[in-house]
């Protein structure tokens, strides 16, 4: 079983739609969680951290469910510029050793 | 403030050739990392460094070597290139190793071994 699993997609949605991605992780001792965004042929960039209480940043909401070992990302009012691959990332201790999921691809169309 | 820079952007190698991928950061970060990203796969950690003179293996170190003589530079060396090393290589850095610490990535090097 992969340490971090994501549905690869693609999720094809129209502008203005709400879309949600889930990610599951296998290590119950994982300490912190992130969503990174990666545009086509570019480097990953931090989108947001995921806190235990859930957190929101504009149109983006991240949730953590430790009991079921999954995190989610909700994007409201999708924009064309949201088209990218979203990487679920888990920190399980050590020297900032991040475990990356393979990513979920989102394509927003007019 | 350029962040993390990598050279070259693209490279084609023949089997058995050697090369060094360069990585430099100007954020005075202690922690630096090398990852590879294969199609449909998550980033895999090759090597990391917690400061000048200190390096350690990550998940997939075979076929690679690193050095860290300065805070700014963290080159990755491929000694005998193999087709399995065809990948996109990302260098990253972070200020600390705290659990909420963001990693900053360079633009990547696309390597093809034929």
Residue B97 in this model has a pLDDT that exceeds 90 = no
Inter-chain touch A32–B50, beta carbons under 8 Å:
no
Record the tokens describing residue A12, joined without a space. 């094809």
User: Choosing among A3, A94, A96, which should be mutated to test the B contact, i.e. which has the most B CBs within 10 A?
Assistant: A96
Nearest to A43 among B50, B100, B106 (CB): B106
Residue numbers in A near B41 (CB within 8 A): 102
Other CB atoms within a 10 A radius of the CB of residue B28 amount to 9
Nearest 5°: the CA angle B35, B38, B42 is: 65
Q: What is the mean pLDDT of residues A74-85?
A: 98
B53 DSSP 8-state letter: T
* Residue A18 pLDDT level (bands cut at 50, 70, 90): very high
pLDDT attached to residue B18? 96
Nearest alpha carbon to residue B27 among B90, B105, B98: B105
Which range among A47-61, A75-89, B94-108 shows the weakest confidence by mean pLDDT?
Answer: B94-108
User: Choosing among B103, B107, B111, which should be mutated to test the A contact, i.e. which has the most A CBs within 10 A?
Assistant: B103
Question: pLDDT tens, B43-66?
Answer: 999 999 999 999 999 989 999 999
């Amino acid at each position: 079983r992969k340490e971090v699993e994501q549905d690869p997609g693609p999720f094809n949605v129209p502008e203005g739609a709400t879309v949600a991605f889930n990610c599951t992780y296998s290590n119950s001792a994982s300490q912190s969680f992130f969503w990174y965004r990666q545009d086509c042929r570019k480097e990953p960039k931090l989108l947001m951290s995921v806190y235990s209480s859930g957190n929101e940043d504009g149109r983006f909401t991240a949730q953590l469910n430790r009991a079921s070992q999954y995190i989610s990302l909700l994007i409201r009012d999708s924009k064309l510029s949201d088209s990218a691959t979203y990487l679920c990332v888990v920190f399980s201790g050590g020297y900032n050793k991040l475990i990356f999921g393979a990513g979920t691809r989102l394509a927003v169309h007019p | 403030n350029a962040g993390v820079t990598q050279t070259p952007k693209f490279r084609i190698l023949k089997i058995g050739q050697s090369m060094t991928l360069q990585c430099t950061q100007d954020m005075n970060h202690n922690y630096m990392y090398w990852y590879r990203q294969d199609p449909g796969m998550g980033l895999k950690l090759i090597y990391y460094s917690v400061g000048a003179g200190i390096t350690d293996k990550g998940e997939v170190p075979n076929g690679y070597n690193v050095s860290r003589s300065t805070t700014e530079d963290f080159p990755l060396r491929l000694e005998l290139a193999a087709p399995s090393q065809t990948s996109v290589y990302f260098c990253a850095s972070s200020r600390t190793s705290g659990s909420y610490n963001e990693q900053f990535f360079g633009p990547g090097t696309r390597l093809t071994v034929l």
